[in-house]
Structure 1
Amino acid sequence: MTQITLRRPDDWHLHLRDGAMLRAVTPETARHFGRAIIMPNLMPPVVTGAQAADYRERIRAGIPEGSDFTPLMTLYLTEETDPADVAKAKAQGIITAVKLYPAGATTNSASGVRDFDKVRPVLETMAEHGIPLCVHGEVVDGDVDIFDREAVFIDRVLDPIRRATPGLRVVMEHITTKDGVDYARAGGDTLGATITTHHLVINRNHILVGGIKPHYYCLPVAKRETHRQTLLEAATSGDKSFFLGTDSAPHTDPNKESACGCAGCFTATNTMSVLAEVFEQQGALDRLEAFTSLNGPAFYGLAPNEARITLEKGDAVRYPEKIETGDGPVTVFDPGFPLHWRVV
């Protein structure tokens, strides 16, 4: 096979930041994707419907002319979130989901949740109105090894939340372990899971062997090769529980290459080429559309995109090493192998 046509894909987990960075990176996603769930962890975070509406307008201003890319907005869940504001923002078509960050789990998550009992009224309102909860699934307890955070979160936090609020629709974002795959598969119709492009490619050796590689450092951190293989099997299986959420996260090179480097891989530019290569290696090109274009809309209760994109296989594609922004250069994710598939 040297050509494949898919419904236009969606990205169910995306960081666009704000200001000069937003204006530089938004076209990288809008080029190939129809919609994206936009993360609200700005500084300060997007916590009200009014703030989400304002942020959406700033994103729309950065979309290239002629593009029909649609940002799908989220609210940042805090212990002070007003359930009525969440319901109103959903009814007005401002938000698609609410994002849960355990406090301190990742970039700009200091305003996240510490006491989950305090957000129970919000979760109940979300279940009533069919608003999905997007979850950064890691505990941050000092006694938990960073490589075990996801598995412990499932046991200590996620499973109790879902049992206490059985109608709540939950997306386990950027799963990285066999534990996450197994739990998503057993979760029924109210549970889905996104898998990133980079977690299908890298394991923890890529970050640490031969010197620290800051542009492979992300949160959740990449795990053992056995976990990566499980993610590959899940993503390429066609199982409706799994869909693409790139977690493409732009940071300038100085902020990545520092004594305390930021977490995140910027994959918006070359994700479709990387995924086509990975799915072909797994003998699963016929299931790429399910992962990128069908399973996510089905979980969110949306129709798949009518537009199509075509990928062709040929000589190696050369992507820019960096995207220049008004804040500084951002390094594009390097999968470590040639990419022969391109969107035409």
Structure 2
Amino acid sequence: MSTLSVTLRQPDDWHVHLRDGMVLSAVAPFTAGAFARAIVMPNLTKPITTVKAAINYHQRINMACKKISLNKSSEQKNQFQPLMTIYLMEDLSLPELVRGYNEKIFTAAKFYPLNVTTNSMFGVQSITAINYLLERMEAIGMPLLVHGEVIDPEVDIFDREKVFIDRHLISIHKRFPMLKIVLEHITTADAVHFVESTGSQIAATITPHHLHLNRNAMFHEGIRSDFYCLPVLKRERHRLALRHAATSGNPKFFLGTDSAPHVRQSKETSCGCAGIFNAPYAIESYAQVFEEEGKLELFEGFASLYGPQFYGLPVNENRITLEKRRHKVPMHIHWNGINNERITLVPLHAGENLQWKIKQD
């Protein structure tokens, strides 16, 4: 007999981009509608590097989320909790980082190699230059979130994750063995092996699009800019390794959507932006993977338990129910702002049928 519904503790998203301004207003309610908490990336046009900037951004997120509450019951509305991060820079103020973490303004710190992805032009060029930050983070228990790619032009774009692990991450872990590290949005069997072979201080997030798509998707019947993301989609063997890791019940792997919205004109252009907007149907997308792998009973761990366990936070008390109900994802999501300004976004699975749907009260 097939399963007709699944109830689980409300999930958290341990890696999301909410952007700012009109895009923030358009996309934040989708994350708030499904997730109780979310680790919010700090790579705005002006990155989040101070306590004041984080508090102000937190307030803007809360204002955007109050406008719509998509899937929550009345008692759950407006309870979404953005978890803020600080953008690591080579000249970042150590007292600011420590103060922000001690005052629970910052949940973690994000490491971007210089120019590796969207708004990373302020990122780190020399990892040794931030040793003073990593040393203190290790001492106070502040997690390090890593975009694990090199930007070396001599390294093939499909090998950047593996080379980063070999060149940098292994040595970081050796120098700071008690530093908690999340290797974000992993894309390769190499990353899976690295995480599996290390201790409890190392974990990884996995996105829905890297579980569903391999690199052929970017070139199906032409150039598919909506499937261009960083790190890029990889070979099929890597996708299968990720699916095995996500559905294995290993608590070192947990949910992080890396939902990274860009408006339509920024994706469909001669130099399209990297990022996939998956927030509107992320839970349904993950659930489909777990069902296809015959591991629905392990979905709650991946989505709702392992992340809080790693971060030392309580699990959520609220629950959501997914119903087995086939539905079609719209081709576009539109949002009308002030002064009749209109934003168009393309969600992951646009035009496709998904088999699960969050039950709405």
Question: What's the TM-score once normalised by structure 2's chain length?
Answer: 0.93
Shift of 1:336: 7.2
Q: Are residue 324 (structure 1) and residue 360 (structure 2) matched? A: no
Distance 1:73 1:15 in 2: 11
Match for residue 118 of structure 1 among 120, 129, 147: 129
Q: How big is the shift at 1:102?
A: 0.2
AA at the equivalent of 1:258: T
In structure 2, distance between residues paired with 1:18 and 1:323: 17
Match of 1:48 in 2: 50
State the 4+ residue runs in structure 1 displaced beyond 4 angstroms: none
Shift of 1:338: 2.1
CA offsets 1:79-122 (integer angstroms, 9 cap, x no match): 01112111100111101000000001100101000011110000
Q: 1:298 to 1:307 in 2, by over 3 A?
A: same
**Counterpart among 236, 239, 244 of residue 247 in structure 2:** 236
Provide the C-alpha distance between the structure 2 equivalents of 1:225 and 1:189, rounded to a whole number of angstroms: 28
Read off the aligned partner of 1:30 and give its amino acid letter.
Answer: A
Q: Deviations over 1:307-335 (max 9, x none)?
A: 00000102x21333322234621111117
Secondary structure of the corresponding residue to residue 218 of structure 1: coil
1:241 maps to a residue whose letter is: K
Distance 1:149 1:260, change over 3 A: same
Deviates more, 1:50-59 or 1:229-238: 50-59
Deviations 1:238-278 (A, max 9, x none): 10010010000110011000000000100000011111111
- Verify: 1:217 aligned to 2:228, yes or no: yes
Q: Which one is further off, 7-16 or 48-57?
A: 48-57
- Show the counterpart of 2:73: none
Task: Kindly state the Cα deviation for residue 337 of structure 1 after the two structures are TM-superposed.
Answer: 4.8
- RMSD in angstroms over aligned alpha carbons? 1.2
Mapped partners of 1:102, 1:215: distance in 2: 24
| Aligned residue among 164, 170, 174 for 1:159 | 170
Structure 1 Cα separation of the partners of residues 302 and 293 of structure 2? 14
The answer to whether the Cα contact below 8 Å between 1:24 and 1:323 also exists between their aligned partners in 2 is no
The share of aligned pairs that are identical, in percent, is: 49
- The superposition leaves residues 141-193 of structure 1 with CA deviations (integer Å, 9 ceiling, x where unpaired) of 01100000000000111111111111110000000000000001112110000
Deviations 1:54-77 (A, max 9, x none): 111111111126221100000010
1:233 Cα deviation after fit? 0.2
Unaligned runs of 5+ in 1: none
Counterparts of 1:288 and 1:279, CA distance in 2: 6
Residues 312 and 341 in structure 1, CA contact (< 8 A), matched pair in contact too: yes
Bigger mean CA deviation after superposition, 176-185 or 269-278: 269-278
Match of 1:13 in 2: 15
Say which of 248, 262, 265 aligns to 1:251. 262
Residue 64 (structure 2) aligns with: 62
Aligned equivalent of 1:2, options 1, 4, 21: 4
Deviation per CA, 1:17-67: give whole Å up to 9, x if none.
Answer: 001111111110111100000000001111112211111111111112622
Report matched runs for 1:99-178 at 5 Å.
99-178=110-189
What is aligned with 1:292? 303
CA gap of 1:336–1:170, structure 2 versus 1, over 3 A, is: farther
How many residue pairs get aligned? The number is 343
Q: Distance in 1 between matches of 2:248 and 2:32?
A: 27
Indicate the residue corresponding to 2:29 in structure 1: 27
- In 2, the alpha carbon distance for the partners of 1:267 and 1:108 equals 19
- Tell me the equivalent position of 1:338: 353
Q: Provide the secondary structure at the position in 1 that maps to 2:354.
A: coil
Task: Name the structure 1 match of 2:281.
Answer: 270
Change beyond 3 A, Cα 1:32–1:242: same
Partner of 2:91: 80
Secondary structure of the corresponding residue to residue 286 of structure 1: helix
Letter in 1 for 2:327: V
Q: After TM superposition, list the pairs within 5 Å mapping 1:193-204 onto structure 2.
A: 193-204=204-215
Stretch of structure 1 that moved more, 91-100 or 44-53:
44-53
Distance of 1:87 and 1:205 partners within structure 2:
44
| Contact 2:332–2:350 (CA under 8 A) maintained in structure 1 | no
**How far did residue 285 of structure 1 move?**
0.4
Tell me if structure 2 keeps the 8 A contact 1:31–1:67.
Answer: no
Q: Give distance in 2, aligned partners of 1:145 and 1:318.
A: 36
2:30, 2:279 within 8 Å by CA — same for their partners in 1? Answer: yes
